[in-house]
Amino acid sequence: MAQLQMTQLSLPPGMIHLGIGQPSPSLLPLEIMKKAAMQRLSQSDASFLAYGAEQGDGYFRATLAQLLSQSYGEAVNPDHLFITAGASQSLDLICTIFTQAGDTVFVEEPSYFLALRIFRDHRLKIVGVPMDEDGVDLNALEEKLATEHPVFFYTIPTYHNPASITLTRSRREQLVRLSLNYGFIIVADEVYQMLNYLEQAPRPLACWADQGKLLSIGSFSKILAPGLRLGWIQGTSDLLDGLIGCGLLDSGGGLNPFTSAIVRSTIEMGLLSSNVEHLRSVYSERLRVLQSAVEQELAEAVTFHPPKGGFFMWLRLLHGLSAQELLPEARSKNVAFLPGDQFSCSGGMKNYIRLSFALYEADELRTGVQRLSKVLKKVISQKSW
């Protein structure tokens, strides 16, 4: 019998796919989940097996609010949290409730490729706004606002996927002002907020939620485990009420009450915080290894902005190379990456590739980059003929 597929990821044997942004099996926290489940399931309270409160269990929201308050250095109100089945589901629900087919939304150019897919599923018109090393270019954004009326602007403000850029504090403030002046919602995807390696994490956009039209999306996928399918949206009641009152929750109750109850124990027992510390130490070492391999092996073929957190390196290819033309040769050498055009809403970014240091250990990262270096040398030498 053919082997039954158990996870989303399925790679040919021997392939090092440097594009994949998922945690390695060694980082999936089985022991933590065992301890937390034992703690939760040994109590007599079975309420998490009932249909859950639409906004998410109140005790879980209070615990999550405490965790976020500590992490952000500012009080987070549990009433301003809505529990979801992860960031992807949050995006889908935001589209369902706030948009109609044909509406315009703005995204960064580049943006998270699977968010673009969700927006396309909702038949939205997607308009890209360029970025520089300080985040989205707000002058370009304002120019586009003269002619377009987006329902929301989707941004990944901290340790961007794929560009690894972080929006500066002053641009965060300006962006909030623009959203109020022009009446669009900021949808801030802040799933990498806690994965800072080389600096204090910036003040999240979530901290401006009370001042206006802003929804901040968080997820346990990056700080605990993606299989939990658990996340949250932070916003004022004005905006959250629309989401919480939707038919999906009226019928099915709050999202993932069982998982919420166990994840509540991981927070209360201090297991989540120690896991985040562990992830920071593992990922920062992998980033160091990947970056130095890229600097040693690819210096003549690429440039990049050094990441300070998150999962990704975004390489700009020199010599007029396009990512798509490298891919067949790369695959034949058992290495792969994600080509930049996947992250563009308009088919641009052809001369970029995304690498991730989440899935592989140090040795495999080095081997992957060495393979990539051979591929680049071969393709460049063929071009210069």
Binding site for ligand PLP (CB under 6 A): 21, 86-88, 112, 156, 161, 189, 191, 219, 221, 226, 231
Tell me whether residue 97 or residue 318 sits nearer to ligand PLP (CB atom). 97
Phi/psi of residue 215, nearest 5 degrees: -120, 125
Strand pairing class (302-304; 152-155): unpaired
Residues 6 or more apart whose CB falls under 8 angstroms from that of 220 comprise 86, 228, 230, 231, 263
In whole angstroms, how close is the CB of 41 to ligand PLP at the nearest point?
24
Phi/psi of residue 108, nearest 5 degrees: -75, 150
Tell me whether residue 339 or residue 379 sits nearer to ligand PLP (CB atom). 339
In whole angstroms, how close is the CB of 385 to ligand PLP at the nearest point?
39
In whole angstroms, how close is the CB of 161 to ligand PLP at the nearest point?
4
Residue 104 φ/ψ region, left for φ over 0, alpha for ψ in the -120 to 50 degree band, beta for the rest:
beta
In whole angstroms, how close is the CB of 147 to ligand PLP at the nearest point?
27
* Distance between CA atoms of residues 109 and 345, nearest Å: 7
* Distance between CA atoms of residues 196 and 15, nearest Å: 29
Tell me whether residue 225 or residue 261 sits nearer to ligand PLP (CB atom). 225
* Distance between CA atoms of residues 190 and 198, nearest Å: 18
In whole angstroms, how close is the CB of 21 to ligand PLP at the nearest point?
5
Tell me whether residue 88 or residue 266 sits nearer to ligand PLP (CB atom). 88
87-98 vs 113-121: helix crossing angle, rounded to 10: 30
Tell me whether residue 112 or residue 184 sits nearer to ligand PLP (CB atom). 112
In whole angstroms, how close is the CB of 86 to ligand PLP at the nearest point?
3
**CB contact at 8 A, 76 and 129:** no
Tell me whether residue 220 or residue 304 sits nearer to ligand PLP (CB atom). 220
